[in-house]
Each structure stands twice: as C-alpha cells, then as structure tokens.
Structure 1
Amino acid sequence: MSNRRVVFVVGSGRSGTSTMAGTLRTLGLHVPQPEVVADATNPKGFGEPRWVVDLHHELLQRSNVQVSDARPRAWLDTGTTSGDHATRERVAAWLEEQFSVADELVVKDPRASWFLGLWRAAADRCDATSSYVTMLRPVTEVVGSKQTYYGQMGAGSDQGAITRTAAWVNMMLHTERATRGQQRAFVHYGDLLDDWTQPVFALGESFDLQGVKTAMAVDIAEVHRFIDPSLRRVTMTWDDIGVPTRLRELADETWQALDAISTDDSAKNQEWCDQLRTAYASQYAEAEAFAHSTVVAQRRRAAADARRDALEQAPARSAADRVPHAVRAMVPPAARQRLRKAIGRERAPQQDRA
C-alpha cells in the first residue's frame, strides 16, 4: 500500500485555512514550493503553493468564475473547464513531482473547492490517498473579515455583504457535496485557536499522517508559537452586516447543518445539506429573475459604450474622404488636381484616378 498522502485544506477564504495549512506544514507535511508570500492580510503566511494558485486563477478565468462566486451554475462551468485531458495530465505530472520531495503533502487554496474532482483524479493517478479538511468559521466573521481586508464590492457595503454571504453558502454547501464519500473532516476555526492539539492530532489519526503522529516536541512547540488566538481579529454578527432576512436564515441553517456534520457525518445530515443546496439554488434563481431587467439594461449600456469608444478611437476622415466616390468622379481631373494641391494632398499625375 502506498504511503503517499495529500491533504487538501478547503472551504471559504478567511475561515482559518491558512492556519490549518501552516500547522500541518510545521508538523512535517510538505507544502510544495514556492509559496505565496505573506502580506498584511495574512502576516503569518498563506501556506499556498504558488503553482496551485496560478493554475486555479487560470482555470477560473477560462470558466468566467470568480473566487467567491454565488452562482450555483458556476460549479458546472469549472467542472467543464477542468475536465479536459490536457489539464488532468498537467496536474497529475505536477503532483508526481511533489511526491519526489515528500510522501505527505498539504495543498491549500480557497479556489481549490472549484476543482476537487480534478485533484482527486490526479491523486489517484499518483497512487496517493487524498483527504479533505474543511474549515468552519461563522459566516458573519468570514464576511466581516473579507470586508475588512479585501474591501467592498459593488456600490455599497450592503451589496458586498449580500454577495459574499451568498457566495459563502454556495461554496460551503458544494464543498460538502464534493467531498462526500471521501476521507474528510470538518474543523472549527475557534477550536483550532483554543487548543489546536485536539483537532489536529485527531486528523493525524484519522488520515494516518505520519508527520503528525510522530511529531517531535520541538515541532509541537513551534506550532504553539505559530497559532495565536489574536489571529481571530474580526468578530462580527448579523447586526454588523446588512443582509436580507431570507438569505440570513439560509446562511444560519447552512452553518447549523455543517456544524452537525462536523460531529456526525451521517446520511441524515448530508440530506439536510442537499435540501439547503436546493433551497439556495431556488432562491438564487428567483433573485436572478427579479434582476433580469437590470442585467439587460447593463448589457445595452455596455454595448452602447463599446460603440462610442470605437467611434472615438477610429481615425478621423478628411472632408474629401467623406465625399461619395461617384460625386468625386464627376470633378474634372485638372480641377481635382488643383484642389488636392490647395489642401496639401497633391498626387503625381499617374496616381490621380477617379
């Protein structure tokens, strides 16, 4: 049996995925290099392989899908884009290269949930066991953190909060569905900050991760220094976020269902998620129907702007050029030559054609 393991840390961005990836890396799992460089939004690092982020960015662009996309059909678009043979070969080849460095890998990127089928197929081709850790953080904290560190979307803060809340519901419910039947775990971000040893060592046992199971005292001490409870810098409630009641209720129930699955991954709770996913798709379709006139108006405006820009960028035509050819042909050649000479567009005699 192969000793190869790859742990995919998935779920919405700003939900503790970087902390989980950094913890597994510190305990001995390999994060493929180079990594995305830390910045002010994540000063302790992202734990994201640069190659993986670039790949997902490329595939999302080809799919016309955003990182946080609220559209249920976006899953079909990304699945279609990533299903071609060339992309699967490319990912499997890259993953095989990483296993030449270490037998246990951790791959984390908030975009990864859109392409889990692609990665699972690649792991299978490399004879590796794939596992999935979905990080859970209250939706109000996730949305609040994105508002704080990534800025607003749209014309106002309410629009940004609505879009991001809907995207969270879409992302989390479909991530649950995509990992169903696989080796997986759901970990609360709060539990990771309060006492990381319990959820992480439980992962080590359930996923059979030698790096975690045989961690040295020096590695454990390093994780204690790495995980800082103050990392939970944004704590918001619905009172701080303007979201319509129906969407708020759906997001709350989604949180309750995922919380239930974290301790009881049963068919009953999975069916609960299925019902919520159907309800969300219905609610989104209703919102699209309401907004149809706005969408059509925006398309018309964009088309009009494009036509105006094309006219403004087109080279100016002289007054002579705007005269129809049939009219210009009626002017005697000698007179035409004198006119051209007067306006500085004189031609040699042999070039003067009607």
Structure 2
Amino acid sequence: MSSRRVVFVVGSGRSGTSTMSGTLQTLGMHVPQPEVAADSTNPKGFGEPQWVVDLHQELLARTGVQVSDARPRAWLDAGKISGDHATRDRVTAWLETQFAESDELVIKDPRAAWFMGLWRACADRCDATSSYVTMLRPVTEVIGSKQKYYAQRTGDVTRAAAWVNMMLHTERATRGEARRFVRYADLLADWTQPVFALGEAFDLTAVKTAMANDIAQVHRFIDPSLRRVTLTWDDVQVPASLRDLAEETWQTLDGLADEDGDTSEAHARCDRLRVAYDEMYADAEAFAHSTTLAARREGAATTRRELEQAGARPGGGPGAGRGADRVPHSVRALVPEGARRGLRKALGRER
C-alpha cells in the first residue's frame, strides 16, 4: 500500500481553513512551495500553495465561475474541466514533483472545492490516498469576516447564498470519501483533539509521530483571538427564507462534526436542503429576469456609444466601421448577437 497521502482542506473561505492547513504543516506535513504571502487579512499566513491558487484562478476564468458563486449550475460548469486530459496531465505532473519532496501533502485553497473531481483523479494517478477536512464556521461569522476583510463587491444576500451553495455541494462531493468535519471554534479551543483525530483517521505519519517541539509550535501558532468576527443573524440583512435555509444548513453541517454524526440521515437532510436551495435560486432568477434583460439592453446601449465615440459613422461612408474595429473583440463579444445585428444595421454594416 502506498504511503502517499494528500489532505485537501476545503470549505468556505474565512472558516479556519488557513489555520487547519498551517497546523498540519507545523506538525510536519508538506505545503507545496512557494506559498501565498501573509497579509493583513490573514497575518498568520494562508497555508496555500501559490501554484494551486494560480491554477484555480485560471480554471475559474475558463469555466466562467466565481470563487464564491451562488449559482447551482456553477458546479456543472466547473466540473467539466475535471475530465480535460491536458489539465489532468498538468496537475498530475505537478503532484509528482511535490511527492518527491514529501509523502504527505496538504493542499488548501477555498477554490479547490470546485475542482475536487480533478484533484481526486490526479491523486489516484499518483497512487496517493486522498482525504478531506471541511472546516465549519457559522454562516453569519463567515459573512461578517468577508465584510471586514474583503472588498465590498457583493452584499450579504449573495454571500449567504454562495455559502449555502458551496457548503452543501462540498458535502455532496466528499461523501463516500475519507473525510472529517471540524468546527473552527473547536480548533481554536483545543486543537489537539480534532487534529490528532484526523491523524488517526487519515493515517498521517507526521501527525501521529509529532514531537513535543512541533506540538509547542502549534500552540504558539493558534491564537484564539483569530476568531475576531462573531456576527449573528441580527447583524446580517437577508430575506427570511434564505436566512432560514442557511441556518438549517449550518445546523445540519454542524452535526456532521459530532462523533458518529456523519450518517445517512444527515446526508438525506443535506440532499433535501440542496434541492430546496436549487428551487429557491431558480425562483430568484425568474423574478430577476426583467432586471437581466434591462442590464443587457444597457450593455448594448453602452457599446453603441463606445462605437460612435470611437469614430464609426452610420451609412457606410468613408471611414465607417473603422472605429468599431478598434473596439476590442472582448468588449464586442459581451453584447448579445441580436443586439450586435441591430448595431451593425444602424451603422450601415449589415452582412
């Protein structure tokens, strides 16, 4: 049996994934280098391999999926890349170079949940055993932490929805695999219990044989004050239906961290919640259809103004079309085909 092990630390960002990755690294497991540099949002470090983060950003761009994507269908879009042979060859080759450094790896990046099928297949190619640690933190605290440390590009509603989508599909994607759920609060209160339990469950030599000096370093590394945001639903403004669904999702996932809590009954509740979320999201899309159409019309109008400002003239006279050709294709491609035909007609460029 191969001694190669790879532990994937997954779950929503701001849930303690960095603390878990850093703890396993301090005990002797290998986080591939170089790592993403620590900053003010995570002064203890991220425990993330830069190569993995760059790969996931590239794959997300290729599939049109966001890091925190609330769309249920985003899982289908991201999943398509897992079967790409060139991508599998690339990831497998990288993993082999890392196993040359150590038989026990830790791979952590909140984006990894979108591509677990890819990583599992590549680990299998390397004759390595995969296991998964999903970090759990109340959704309100995750939202609050993102409010504090991330740019305000999205609101509480989107963040709550994205959390539900991410966590329920992560649970489904790791079901049947070697996995453990760990509460962030438990990790901060007494890290030895959940971490040494992981070492036994996943047969991690570095954890099981950790020396006193390693253990002392982890005690210095883990700072209970890292849990700096403790919001409740009174502090988060979301619709009651989404709040109730998110809270039930949290309660169900929280139970998975209990001893013998990862049961078929809990799986059935997760499945029911996932279906309920999919239906809720579909209803929201239907309600927002008019807004989507209005945004497309505004996009078409904006592109037309840019074409006109660039020098394109209606009527097909001298110089007509030269301004449009100066507009980058990436901009023109954002306009629906029907709108582009209308613009070409108005500019005298029908074809």
TM-score (norm 2): 0.88
What do residues 119-178 of structure 1 show as CA deviations (whole Å, max 9, x unaligned)?
Answer: 000010000000000000000000000011003235xxxxx0000000000000000000
CA shift, 1:81, in A, is 2.6
The amino acid across from 1:36 in the alignment is V
Correspondence 1:113-132 to 2 at 5 A: 113-132=113-132
Could you say which residue in structure 1 is the equivalent of 2:10?
10
Could you say which residue in structure 2 is the equivalent of 1:326?
none
Could you say which residue in structure 2 is the equivalent of 1:237?
232
What do residues 308-329 of structure 1 show as CA deviations (whole Å, max 9, x unaligned)?
Answer: 1011113689xx9489xxxxxx
Could you say which residue in structure 2 is the equivalent of 1:200?
195
Contact kept in structure 2, 1:82 and 1:115, CA below 8 Å? yes
CA shift, 1:208, in A, is 0.4
Correspondence 1:68-79 to 2 at 5 A: 68-79=68-79
**Is residue 266 from structure 1 mapped to residue 260 from structure 2 by the alignment?**
no
The amino acid across from 1:134 in the alignment is T
SS of structure 2 residue aligned to 1:107: strand
What do residues 278-304 of structure 1 show as CA deviations (whole Å, max 9, x unaligned)?
Answer: 000000000000000000100110011
Contact kept in structure 2, 1:261 and 1:270, CA below 8 Å? no
Contact kept in structure 2, 1:11 and 1:172, CA below 8 Å? yes
TM-score (norm 1): 0.87
**Is residue 288 from structure 1 mapped to residue 285 from structure 2 by the alignment?**
yes
Q: Which portions of structure 1, spanning 4 or more consecutive aligned residues, are displaced by more than 4 angstroms?
A: 320-323
The amino acid across from 1:17 in the alignment is T
Could you say which residue in structure 2 is the equivalent of 1:24?
24
The amino acid across from 2:281 in the alignment is Y
C-alpha distance in structure 2 between counterparts of 1:311 and 1:105, whole Å: 55
Paired-residue identity, %: 72
Could you say which residue in structure 2 is the equivalent of 1:308?
305
SS of structure 1 residue aligned to 2:265: helix
Contact kept in structure 2, 1:17 and 1:135, CA below 8 Å? yes
The amino acid across from 2:32 in the alignment is P
Match of 2:274 among 274, 277, 281: 277
The amino acid across from 1:295 in the alignment is T
The amino acid across from 1:171 in the alignment is M
Larger of the two Rg values belongs to structure:
1
What do residues 70-109 of structure 1 show as CA deviations (whole Å, max 9, x unaligned)?
Answer: 0000000001133211011111111111000000000000
Could you say which residue in structure 2 is the equivalent of 1:141?
141
SS of structure 2 residue aligned to 1:236: coil
Contact kept in structure 1, 2:81 and 2:118, CA below 8 Å? no
The alignment's C-alpha RMSD in Å is 1.4
Could you say which residue in structure 1 is the equivalent of 2:244?
249
Give the direction of change, closer, same or farther, for the CA distance of 1:297–1:93 in structure 2 (3 Å limit).
same
The amino acid across from 2:199 in the alignment is G
What do residues 3-61 of structure 1 show as CA deviations (whole Å, max 9, x unaligned)?
Answer: 00000000000000000000000000000000000010000100000000000000000
Contact kept in structure 2, 1:12 and 1:168, CA below 8 Å? yes
**Is residue 107 from structure 1 mapped to residue 107 from structure 2 by the alignment?**
yes
C-alpha distance in structure 1 between counterparts of 2:308 and 2:22, whole Å: 53
Query: Is there any run of 5+ residues in structure 1 with no aligned partner, and where?
Result: 155-159, 324-354
Match of 1:297 among 294, 298, 304: 294
Give the direction of change, closer, same or farther, for the CA distance of 1:255–1:305 in structure 2 (3 Å limit).
same
The amino acid across from 1:282 in the alignment is E
C-alpha distance in structure 2 between counterparts of 1:97 and 1:321, whole Å: 59
Aligned residues: 316
Contact kept in structure 2, 1:59 and 1:82, CA below 8 Å? no
Give the direction of change, closer, same or farther, for the CA distance of 1:303–1:27 in structure 2 (3 Å limit).
same
C-alpha distance in structure 2 between counterparts of 1:176 and 1:68, whole Å: 16
The amino acid across from 2:243 in the alignment is R
The amino acid across from 2:59 in the alignment is L
C-alpha distance in structure 1 between counterparts of 2:319 and 2:200, whole Å: 80
Could you say which residue in structure 2 is the equivalent of 1:345?
none
C-alpha distance in structure 2 between counterparts of 1:303 and 1:231, whole Å: 47
CA shift, 1:259, in A, is 1.3
Contact kept in structure 1, 2:180 and 2:257, CA below 8 Å? yes
C-alpha distance in structure 2 between counterparts of 1:262 and 1:322, whole Å: 68
The amino acid across from 2:183 in the alignment is H
The amino acid across from 1:243 in the alignment is V
SS of structure 1 residue aligned to 2:132: strand
Query: Is there any run of 5+ residues in structure 2 with no aligned partner, and where?
Result: 321-351
SS of structure 2 residue aligned to 1:8: strand
Contact kept in structure 1, 2:313 and 2:319, CA below 8 Å? no
